[in-house]
Amino acid sequence: MEKHDLKHEFPEYQDKIHELKISNVHFRKLFDEYHEIEHQIRRINMGSEIANDKFLHELKAKLLFLKDEIYAYLNK
């Protein structure tokens, strides 16, 4: 399964991601929530965790929303 963590999604922003994680509390919360949801989706897709399609769809929608918010921070 392909990784969708922020390191793979935004490799060109690795330094800025690190800087924002340290200096911006709100960004850090977005970052942590993104990774928590991304890991949960991976566990579901690998069969380690069970979820119905509706719940999985909601997780993926939330992940995309967080990714958009994070990207907005990275482009400031």
Q: Is residue 15 part of a domain?
A: yes
**Alpha-carbon distances, residue 25 vs 2, 17, 55, 64 (angstroms):** 29, 12, 28, 20
Note the pLDDT of residue 1: 55
Task: Report yes or no on whether pTM surpasses 0.75.
Answer: yes
pLDDT in tens, 15-33: 999 999 999 999 999 999 9
Which structural domain range is residue 35 located in? 6-74
The count of structural domains within the chain is: 1
SS3 of 20, please? helix
pLDDT in tens, 44-74: 999 899 999 999 999 999 999 999 999 999 9
Q: Is residue 1 part of a domain?
A: no
